[in-house]
Amino acid sequence: MKYEGNYTAMNRELLMQTVQMHMSEKRFKHVLGVEKTAVALAEKYGASPEKASIAALTHDYAKERPNDEFELVIKRDGFDLDLLNWNNAIWHGIVGADFVQRELGIDDQEILQAIRLHTTGAAEMSLLDKIIYVADFIEPGRDFPGVDKARELSLVDLDEAVRYETQHTLLHLLETKKAIYPETIETYNRWVAGK
């Protein structure tokens, strides 16, 4: 499927159905919520709504793949082998973007980068990266203390929403004693600590 400059209702429908076949109903509903939110943010902040739609629909495409498939691709395709010490939470974006490229034929580098960064964020994020990162956090199906604050911020200042989300995620990881991926720390240093 090729989408550049020609993202019709028909190929959105095809993409949506392909994504749907790869995940639970619950996760697919989340994906549609992210899409709706990302398109609205794109319209508000002046990004491409088509790219926001494609990136949102595919951001969790690989999330239900078995671990051994990720491990195989990490070893085969020259990823940093330190990734083998992590898990699905980290793999499904960074490595998942390659599944999206190979299996769905999406070659747009801005879209692939937004997928790669959607879980950890990054010190440097494009407008589309921020939109997918934030939309994933605040889509209508999300329900946790602080989500309404994040939604409010996203309507006023997208960077403030990125900051809020980054701090919230790091706090959650610390509270649950999870290992912090280096990119997550870089995101925190740049966006929250202002380093």
Nearer to ligand GDP by Cβ, of 48 and 184: the residue is 184
Q: Identify the residue among 35, 50, 108, 136 touching Fe ion (CB under 5 A).
A: 136
Query: What string marks each residue from 117 to 156 as x (binds ligand GDP by CB under 6 A) or -?
Result: -xxx---------------x--------------------
- Residue 89 touches which of Fe ion, ligand GDP, none (CB < 5 to 8 A by kind)? ligand GDP
Element housing 100 (H / E): helix 96-104
Q: Identify the residue among 117, 184, 188, 191 touching ligand GDP (CB under 6 A).
A: 184
Q: Is 179 in the site for ligand GDP (CB under 6 A)?
A: yes
- Residue 51 touches which of Fe ion, ligand GDP, none (CB < 5 to 8 A by kind)? none
Q: How far is CA 70 from CA 11, 96, 137, 144, 166, in A?
A: 27, 8, 24, 29, 25
Amino acid at 80: D
- Residue 75 touches which of Fe ion, ligand GDP, none (CB < 5 to 8 A by kind)? none
Q: Identify the residue among 91, 164, 181, 188 touching ligand GDP (CB under 6 A).
A: 181
Helix (H, G, I), strand (E, B) or coil at 129: helix
Q: Is 165 in the site for Fe ion (CB under 5 A)?
A: no
Q: Is 37 in the site for ligand GDP (CB under 6 A)?
A: no
Report the distance separating Cα 49 and Cα 18, nearest Å: 20
- In contact, 156 and 162? CB cutoff 8 Å: no
Residue 60 class from Cβ within 10 Å (0-12 exposed, 13-18 middle, 19+ buried)?
buried
Residues in the chain, overall count:
195
- What would you report as the CA-atom Rg of the chain, rounded to the nearest whole angstrom? 16
Query: Site size for ligand GDP, by CB under 6 A?
Result: 17
Candidates 151, 155, 133, 2; CA nearest to 55 is: 133
The two structure tokens encoding residue 147:
């989500």
Q: What does the binding site for ligand GDP look like in residue numbers (CB under 6 A)? A: 30, 60, 63, 89, 93, 118-120, 136, 169, 172-173, 178-181, 184
